[in-house]
Every structure is written in structure tokens, then in C-alpha cells.
Amino acid sequence: MENDFLCILGPSGCGKSTLLRCVAGYEKIDSGKIILQGKEVSKPGTDRMMVFQDFNQLFPWLTVEKNIDYPLRVNYPKLSNMQRKELTDYYLELVNLYNFKGFYPHQLSGGMKQRVAIVRALSLHPKLLLMDEPFGSLDASTRYKLQKELLRICHHTDVTIIFVTHNIDEAIILSNKIIVLSKQPGKIADIINNNIEKPRLPGIPEYGELWNRLNELMGLDKSIEESAALTRDEVI
């Protein structure tokens, strides 16, 4: 479905990133098939672009503008210099970074680097934008701003996003649908449609109800209880 937002939610080590890498074509699957628009996924492709958690995804020797221009030049060789410039400028305007087009990655904050990485991926018009905890290393304030920014960007594109996170609040705020993976062994615990009206604020009853349900499905309370029991045994 175009312009959809799917979160893969689960505790650390349950296989979220591995699943995303399989969709991207970076990992081989042991069984089953991954199908995108009727075609089996067997290798990476520009129809599936990935944004990682690492801030160092950009070419450090290229400016912000050239980082976005490079994949356009490689994948669309028939585009003129002017056409590539227009596209680059459009995407930089989309994330409010036009005035930083001449900067190098080391001159940007972590949040700014992630915004450039996102629009660089979007510039190739992928069917899927795959995001592996892209805001996980950011402080709470910057993460919140980029969550809002991502939702705004989605509104202006037809891309479907598959977003990996272990943060329940992030999954609720961003997604239309949530795939919950259980703790080891990692398997699908449930698939939930998120019908809470936006903006989704923690104070509303529906938010709290969904948060509790997701927390239970992930088995986090049980893990805390088991950890506490082990600690008591060690003391005894």
C-alpha cells in the first residue's frame, strides 16, 4: 500500500534488524519468500532504500548537495545537470536544509545528517523506505523533532516506510500498523492496526491502552520480573 507506515517493534535481539535486512536484500532467508509488487526479492535494489542508525552514512568528502546528487547521477544518467540540481534543491527544501547544501557531513549535527540520509534515499523514488532505528542515537528532544519531520515528509511522498524500533512510544506516534516481535525466539506476536487519531499524545486513553498492550506482547514486564527474581536468588 502506498504512503503507509509500518513499524516492526520488539525487544533487543529478537530479529528486527535482520528482518529488515532481508527485505532490503542484504540477507538471505532460510525459507519462504519476500514479495514486493509481485516480484520476489533476491538482492538489493533502488525500489528498497535503507536508512541506518549510524550518523556516518553520508560520503564525508562530498557536500550535502553532492551527497544527494551522487545517487541521482549514478542511477539516472540521462538526467541533465539542471534536472539533478532541481531535484536536489527540492529535497533539501523538503527537510529545511537548503541553506546547508554547501556544508560537509562533519559540519552537521546528528539529526541533520539523518535528514540528509532520508532525502537522499527518497530522491530515488523507492517503493519502500527501510529505516533501522534511525533516531535511536539521538537525544529525546531531537528524536521528537525528527519524528514530526518524518511524518511531514511522508505526507509529501507516496513511499511506504518500514521502521524498526524497540521504543513503544515511537511505534505508536509514527505507525499506521505495528508488527510486534516477541523476545527470543523472535516470532510475530501480533499485527496491530494503529487507529489512534493524530497527533497521538500520551495523555489520551487510547494511547495508554495501546501502550500497555504492546508492552505485554513484547514480554517486557515478564523480563523485568525474571531479572528481579534472579537478583533475589543471587542475594539469597
What mean pLDDT value characterizes the chain? 88
pLDDT of the residue at 3? 79
Cis amide bond preceding 185, omega within 30? yes
Host domain of residue 63: 5-235
pLDDT of the residue at 199? 83
| The dihedral sign for the CA sequence 112, 155, 122, 19 | positive
Q: Convert the pLDDT of each residue in 178-216 to its tens digit.
A: 999 988 777 899 999 999 998 888 888 999 999 999 999
Q: Convert the pLDDT of each residue in 18-68 to its tens digit.
A: 999 999 999 988 888 899 888 889 899 999 999 998 888 999 999 999 999
| CATH number of the domain that residue 101 is part of | 3.40.50.300
Which residues, in sequence order, are CB contacts of 236 under 8 Å at separation 6+?
A: none
Task: Count structural domains, the chain.
Answer: 1
